[in-house]
Chains A and B, each alone.
Chain A
């Protein structure tokens, strides 16, 4: 594994640590537990995925990491500092591109830097450089509606990549794309990330996607969500498309799919009962 970059800084401190998070919502006088003792960690430069059945509270976890919601119990630590309930410490790539239609692609990409108070000139220079590298050269001054869904999602990813925060949170960024674009985007993301090793927390419900991209995969149970399994993905980097035909890859995929089926079955029974 090419985990050389982990050596810099304090090697033993995770970039992001989620410690014993509990969260429940009140719905018609009833406490509805959503997260139950969720703990996981992302090492510096590590790509970590969370896979779980839909509706299992993955997005709630992101809101807690982002500081939009306070957990009932537990802590969020960034490089060892407690940031529970405070905002602006992570970079974020949402499910839909959420590009602002009145901003050009370049202006959209620098939005996070602008919010963080980085001088515009510096931000623009950086954006220009990355737009070319991301295959969006020539579209700097175009408005988002001129771009395809895949290209919009690239711009959205770039917006997250450019912001200074160490930890990137990606919330099912490819779920709205068609299968072909999606696999295209997975490899694009793999290239971009391997070039630029950021600490990534990635939510998906696609097991293949998680295995292809990640160093570690956390499997979430159905609601209330807790960590069911954590799997270290052993395949070396840089990874290639051919990996998904590898027997070892498929064995791992089958294993995880089995767990997921089990969970989905439990959830169905739970909702009937």
Chain B
């Protein structure tokens, strides 16, 4: 607990200091509220209609989790397929990397044209954002399997499937989980973009509405919620990691 406190207080103090400086700057320099609202204004705005914000946040969270799950599944299936079939890997791996040069924002309107305003294009966007870090981390982790252990498994006559289940997959697990960690923070961003283009629910849509009415304070409320959502997703994955990988000695944290 004390160690936990020791790692948490420096960033916490930094954040509090930042907020104080912000508040002081806005009031002493007399900056207009529509240009840059003070933290106190943002907090007041957030407290005006918490139910509404809560409903929108839950809607975004739902979309995020669903999208992340699909994205991770697609990334893993892709990685396993490429790992098992080397020809597929040499053919598609460069294409997968190339695919990341297409900005998601540019794809969004196209997906709406193809799939309408329903759930499908939104999930596709989040999947597109999330599958990549997972797939690359998994392919990487799987191909780095310790060759002495691999040699051992082959010498005792383990089948391809046994080698995968008993050696390659657990060996790649830490790597896969760091991929999922990155994907989890991406997933919130993906959900927000998806909501911009889709029909009206969630924080993304709220953000667009406030932008068009110049409600800077509400935009900051939305940003705050997005940051909290990202943190939440990240924390969930870290907990998952702690639960899945119990064999490593805890050296840094405890």
Binding site for B on A (CB under 8 A): 62-63, 66-68, 87-92, 94-96, 98, 100-103, 111-112, 114-116, 143, 145, 163, 169
- Find A101's partner among B154, B162, B247 (CB 8 Å cutoff): B247
CB distance from A213 to the nearest CB of B (A): 21
- 20 contacts across the A-B interface (CB closer than 8 A): A63-B155, A66-B154, A67-B157, A68-B151, A87-B155, A88-B157, A89-B157, A90-B155, A92-B155, A94-B148, A94-B155, A98-B152, A100-B170, A100-B171, A103-B247, A115-B156, A115-B166, A145-B247, A145-B249, A163-B156
Known: A66-B154, A66-B155, A169-B155. 6 other contacts (CB 8 A): A94-B148, A95-B148, A98-B152, A100-B149, A115-B166, A163-B156
Q: Cβ of A169: which chain B residues have Cβ within 8 Å of it?
A: 155
Residue contact B154 to A68, C-beta cutoff 8 Å = yes
Which B149-201 residues have a C-beta within 8 angstroms of A? Answer: 149, 151-158, 162, 166-167, 170-171, 173
B166 touches A111 (CB 8 A): yes
Size range of the interface on B?
20 to 34
Nearest residue, chain B, Cβ from A156: B152
**A88 to B171 CA separation, bound complex (whole angstroms):** 22
Return chain B residues, CB-CB under 8 Å to A66: 154-155, 157
What CA separation (Å) do A101 and B170 show in the bound complex? 10
Separation of A114 and B153 alpha carbons in the complex (Å)? 11
Question: Complex: how many Å from CA A111 to CA B153?
Answer: 9
- Taking CB as reference atom, which chain B residue is nearest A160? B156
Q: Given A100-B167, A102-B170, are A115 and B152 also a contact pair (CB < 8 Å)?
A: no
Q: A102-B247, A115-B162 are in contact. Are A91 and B156 (CB under 8 A)?
A: yes
A73 CB, min distance to chain B CBs, angstroms:
22
B155, B162, B171, B173 pick with most chain A CB within 10 angstroms: B155
State the CA gap A45–B153 with chains docked (Å): 25
B245 interface contact, C-beta 8 A: yes
- Kindly identify which residue among A62, A98, A112, A163 contacts B146, using a CB–CB cutoff of 8 Å: A98
Q: Residues of A contacting B170 with CB < 8 Å?
A: 100, 102
In the assembled complex, the Cα of A8 lies from the Cα of B152 at a distance in Å of 30
The answer on a CB contact under 8 Å between A98 and B156 is: no
